[in-house]
Amino acid sequence: MVSSLPPAAVDPASEGPAFSPLYQQIKTLITRSLQAGEWRPGEMIPSETELAARYKVSQGTVRKAIDALADENLVMRRQGKGTFVATHTEQKIQFRFLRLMADDGDTGNVTRRVIDCRRLRAPADVGRALELKTGDGVVQVRRVMLFRSVPVVLDDIWLPGHLFKGLTAERLSEYRGPMYGLFETEFGVRMIRAEEQLRAVAADPAAAELLNVKAGAPLLSVERLSRTYDDKPVELRRGLYNTEAHYYRNELS
């Protein structure tokens, strides 16, 4: 097997290194189709045989590319049915960026209460994080997440205004699924990966009131920058977590 795609299958816009493994090149082409919306979240993608014919490579190469996409939660395999574009409405991944676990192991019923949703010019630090131009608009969402009816997380969420036109507190409150599911289905923005910074802080009076703790109580500050395809930042989330009965869990490999 040659180490690069045959001419008929090469994407002329490809900027990847010529020496990348063949399955990685196929993975890149499939990812670009996902990004372009050729297959929408929740839809089944073509079979391995069809993709092998499309890209003029072996079925084994396509399988390896799809395995890599599945490892990144971009697609989901369903035994006996096929491979589907992953969606944040899937139970398996809808809370995959939420690492807070109850001490007793029971996450219980997670609900949310939207406090505010407004549009404004991006503050300088938010604009830098989201790679916006000076003066660009953003949507700021403030909400509380409740675990078994107890307020545990206070989130300040910043979103590029041009990607989330029409987003209101009412739409956020009425949507029954996870917030990322709303972003995906109604605004066409899918969160692919995220990076976080954690530190310990003391609750200020406003946060203390919303989380029902004393001012000065210890909280975990989690700043998350979520990215979509092409590593483009599309959400800055600053959360304050009450870890009195919860802990932050992460898996390292």
How much of the chain exceeds pLDDT 90, in percent? Answer: 54
Which pTM was predicted?
0.75
For the chain, the domains span: 7-85, 100-248
Collapsing DSSP to helix, strand or coil, 4 comes out as: coil
Q: Using the predicted structure, report yes or no on whether residue 76 has a pLDDT greater than 90.
A: no
- Answer whether CATH 3.40.1410.10 is correct for domain 100-248: yes
Q: Which residues pair with 233 in a beta bridge?
A: 227
Better-scored residue on pLDDT, 226 or 98: 226
Q: What is the pLDDT of residues 19-51, one digit of tens each?
A: 689 999 998 899 888 878 788 888 899 999 999
For residue 5, the tally of other CB atoms under 10 A from its CB is 19
Question: Which of 68-72, 241-245, 247-251 has the weakest average pLDDT?
Answer: 247-251
Do 86 and 75 contact (CB within 8 A), yes or no?
Answer: yes
Tell me the CATH architecture of domain 7-85: Orthogonal Bundle (1.10)
* Beta carbons within 10 angstroms of residue 143's beta carbon: 22
* pLDDT tens profile 192-228: 888 999 999 999 999 999 999 999 999 999 999 999 9
Terminal-to-terminal C-alpha distance of the chain: 31
pLDDT above 80 for 92:
no
